[in-house]
Structure formats: C-alpha cells, structure tokens
Chains A and B, each alone.
Chain A
Amino acid sequence: GEEVAQTPKHLVRGEGQKAKLYCAPIKGHSYVFWYQQVLKNEFKFLISFQNENVFDETGMPKERFSAKCLPNSPCSLEIQATKLEDSAVYFCASSQSSGGPSNEQFFGPGTRLTVL
C-alpha cells in the first residue's frame, strides 16, 4: 500500500498481560522501524529491520519486547508481561533503501497502548 498501516488503533491490557501490535510497511520499502512515544512528545527508537532481518535492536528492552518482520506478513511488536510504564503510542515507520544520505521515513498512525 501507499501508507503505513498499524493495527490496532487502541489496545488496553492489564499489567502482566501480553500485547501484540502490527505494522504493514509501504510496499517496496526495505526498512521498518518501531518507535515508542511517551509523554512530552519524547520518542524512543526500539528496533529496525532490513526486510525480514533485524538491522538495529539497540533500543529494545530485550527481556519483554520482541519483534518480527516475516515475508508476506505484517511486522509485529510483542510485549510479554506488560508493565504500567509500557503505556505509550507505538509508531511504525518505513523507508526505502538508499545509499544516499537523505531519506524520509513514512510513519503509520500509531497504536496507543494503555496498561492498567
């Protein structure tokens, strides 16, 4: 598609429950990124993929967070045993591969996760 799609729009979970978020990048884009936006507009980079391979996972809290981008399936971000501090809006973005220094990322509408 021509837009990054994210589902669900909203997700409510009790503490300790699992949460799974989905992202369909723009067709033809090689890179997928997950960001977490908490209060005061602060973004935190979580993980990126080059096609189905993890490219950079330096931002991932590895104990409870995992992500996948499998061929012919939406990418997913899963949080096992959610905590209150996981409440945030999770954005997915995609970009084209480029050897050049300038590129833009296209963001989805986000999934708002509320942990009660």
Chain B
Amino acid sequence: LAKTTQPISMDSYEGQEVNITCSHNNIATNDYITWYQQFPSQGPRFIIQGYKTKVTNEVASLFIPADRKSSTLSLPRVSLSDTAVYYCLVGDMAGANNLFFGTGTRLTVIP
C-alpha cells in the first residue's frame, strides 16, 4: 500500500489560492489519487480524484506529474468555510476497498 506524506498544517488568507502537496513515492500502477475533506464534527467528504495529469471540478484542481510520485490539490480563492482537514489517499479505489487515511493537512483560512 502506497504511503502518503503531506504537511500537518497550513494557514492561508481568504481569497488566496492554496496548494497542498502530497508525496506518494511507492504509488502502484493501478492506484488512483483521491482527496477527501473533513470539517469538524463531520465525516470525510470526497473532493476530487485523478490518475494522471490534471483534473478539475467545481471545487478544486488536482495536478499529477508524469511520474505520479506526488500530487497537488489546488483550492482557488479559499474562504473561511474551507477551513478543514484535507486527506490525500492513494490506492485502488474500487467500491469494495476500504480507504487508508493518513493524518491529513489541517488548513486554517484566516480572515
């Protein structure tokens, strides 16, 4: 199972773009990269998923270099409501497989 490493915490001002990088040197060929967001007192929520290059949805963008040993979650123009813990997960995300969460990155958005 590919181990992930991400910063423990980050601070950002409102309106700025936030980039959270995750390292996963031992990613396997059939592994996907998935990011979840967890607000206090709530369950994790799926944000975005990708395999290679760039993926964008209405919430975030995910950049994955060609070697796939790292990935960067990009949150455009963060607001106070984006304060949460962001988890990078790597693995075969077939519906039957359980998820392996690391310790995540605690993002604090400052007014």
Which residues does A use to contact B, with CB under 8 Å? Answer: 4, 30-31, 33, 35, 40-43, 45, 48, 50, 55-56, 59, 91, 93, 95-110
Residues of chain A within 8 A of B43, CB atoms compared: 4, 91, 93, 107-110
Binary contact readout B37-67 vs A (1 if CB under 8 angstroms, 0 otherwise): 0100111111001010000000000000000
Which residues does B use to contact A, with CB under 8 Å? Answer: 30, 32, 34, 38, 41-46, 49, 51, 85, 87, 92-96, 98-101, 103-104, 106
Residues of chain B within 8 A of A101, CB atoms compared: 30, 32, 92-94
Q: Is the CB of A107 within 8 A of B98?
A: no
Q: Is the CB of A107 within 8 A of B45?
A: yes
* CB-CB nearest 7 A-B residue pairs: A107-B43, A43-B101, A104-B46, A98-B95, A103-B95, A45-B98, A95-B95
Give Cα A105–Cα B45 distance, bound, in whole angstroms: 8
A-B contact pairs, 20 of them (CB 8 A): A30-B95, A35-B98, A41-B38, A41-B103, A41-B104, A41-B106, A45-B98, A50-B96, A55-B96, A91-B44, A95-B96, A96-B95, A101-B30, A102-B93, A104-B49, A104-B93, A107-B45, A108-B43, A109-B41, A110-B42
Residues of chain B within 8 A of A110, CB atoms compared: 41-43
A93-B43, A105-B46, A110-B42 given; A99·B94 CB < 8 A:
yes
Q: How far is the CB of B100 from chain A (nearest CB, A)?
A: 7
Residues of chain B within 8 A of A55, CB atoms compared: 96
Residues of chain A within 8 A of B46, CB atoms compared: 104-106
Nearest A residue to B106 by beta-carbon distance? A41
Considering residues A50, A97, A104, which has the most beta carbons from chain B within 10 angstroms of its beta carbon? A104
Residues of chain A within 8 A of B103, CB atoms compared: 40-42
Q: How far is the CB of B33 from chain A (nearest CB, A)?
A: 10
Give Cα A35–Cα B94 distance, bound, in whole angstroms: 17
Residues of chain A within 8 A of B38, CB atoms compared: 41
Give Cα A108–Cα B44 distance, bound, in whole angstroms: 8
Nearest A residue to B31 by beta-carbon distance? A101
